[in-house]
Amino acid sequence: MSVAIVGVGQTPFSRNCGVSIRELCFEAFREALEDLNLTSKEIDASIICSAPEYDKQRSPAGLISEYLGLTPKPTFYAESICSSSSTGVKVGYSFIKSGLHEIVAVIGFQKMSEISSAEVQERMGRGADTQWESPFGTMMPAGYAMYARAHMQKYGTTEEQLAKIKVKSGKYALLNPLAIFRREITLEECLKARVIASPLKMYDCCANADGASCVIMASEEKARKTTDTPVWVAGIGAASDTLSTTGRSNLTGLTCAVDAAKQAYQMAHLEPKDVDVAEVHDCFTIAEIMAYENLGFCKPSEGGKLIEESQTYIGGKIPVNVDGGLLSKGHPIGATGGSQIRTIVLQLQGRAGKTQVKGAEVGLVHNIGGIGVYGNVTLLRR
């Protein structure tokens, strides 16, 4: 039995949304239901996804399922830090594939504006080992800065190549009305920006944001009754790595991403060359370069060359993050994976507007939790 995505939704990503988490989730849910032959009462399970400790609500699944009118159907809570909503999609896929449920709503959210930026960094740092790692300063920027330094030392990757990732991001965010930063950034601006964790500068880092996303999944039978344009889950992979970076043998790529990608390609009977458009987890510019290599879009050591040659722009070898990515669209942790999936679903349905990749039939979503702790890769087909 095949599993399809029939509806997708997303709020604008913003610095301060000014509404409650239930209202955020409703906005994404409402968009996902648009144009579907489906009511909320026909959804027979929901999976709510976020990272805890950013707002006061404990056990948000109960709150949100009630507000969206999904009770008394079961609701579940999924959390894998920044990859929470793509983890939710894997769980939803499993529910449908097993026959337990036929229609599942996966709703991701985060309202990060309720606490200060310093508090956000402290919460993010607790995604690492709180006894032996995060107390010593390995917050997210520092963790990815170590990867950047290792990549530069081994492969000769340059700060200019990192900056070119942000330049591409800004170009496409300008065309995305839901992005938090809708302006182009010059290479010079990127290189002259203040240092956050060397070699990563301000524009090498993604932005905290408020936002929500929704992915509605269905069995093949229900999907064909619900929409004329289902997008099929062709392959889905997930893997993890040691929580502490000191336990890892590779600091020039994310092993969890490599393993998850292998699973997804094998399940879908596809290869990297078959992918027409991709969304990758560019929480930092180095993360996108590593993703090129980890997903097989180029050989290890050639990620910098791929952006140098503009091969990840529309019209290049493999368009990547043509919605602005996390760097410019924003990164409301629990909503990010669902937002990435929404972008690819719209591409495969031919509804991506000014950023449409012509003839896109296969799309890939790469969503990472923490500093390479959790890796999810999802392959979708038109």
Q: How many residues does the chain have?
A: 382
Reported as a single tens digit per residue, the pLDDT across 219-249 is: 999 999 999 999 999 999 999 999 988 888 8
87/157 same-domain check: no
Residue with tokens 């509404």: 19
Residue 127 in this model has a pLDDT that exceeds 80: no
102 and 197 inside one domain: no
Whether 16 and 140 map to the same domain: the answer is no
For residues 142 and 57, membership in a common domain is answered with no
Q: Same structural domain for residues 58 and 182? A: no
pTM attached to this predicted model? 0.96
Provide the number of structural domains found in the chain: 2
pLDDT confidence of residue 98: 97
Shared domain check, 178 and 58 = no
User: Domain containing 102: what range?
Assistant: 3-116+209-231
Are residues 226 and 107 part of one domain? Answer: yes
Q: Looking at the domain assignment, is residue 246 inside a domain?
A: yes
Same domain, residue pair 291 and 198? yes
Helices vs. strands in the chain: H and E counts, helices first: 13, 11
d(CA 254, CA 248): 9
Q: Does residue 51 fall inside a structural domain?
A: yes
Are 47 and 111 contained in the same domain?
yes
Residues labelled as active-site residues: 82, 331
Question: Is there a domain that residue 361 lies in?
Answer: yes
For the stretch 157-187, pLDDT in tens is 999 999 999 999 999 999 999 999 999 999 9
Is residue 126 situated within a structural domain? no
Per-residue pLDDT, 128? 75
Q: How far is CA 359 from the centre of its chain?
A: 23
CA 245, CA 239: separation in Å to the nearest integer?
16
Q: Which segments of the chain are extended strands (E)?
A: 3-10, 45-49, 75-78, 103-111, 195-197, 200-201, 210-219, 231-240, 277-279, 362-369, 374-381
Residues 92, 225, single domain; the answer is yes
Q: Which of 231, 266, 296 is the last residue of a domain?
A: 231
Question: Residue 128: inside a domain, yes or no?
Answer: no
Same domain, 264 and 278: yes
Same domain assignment for residues 158 and 111: no
HSE-CB for 357 with a 13 A CA cutoff: 29
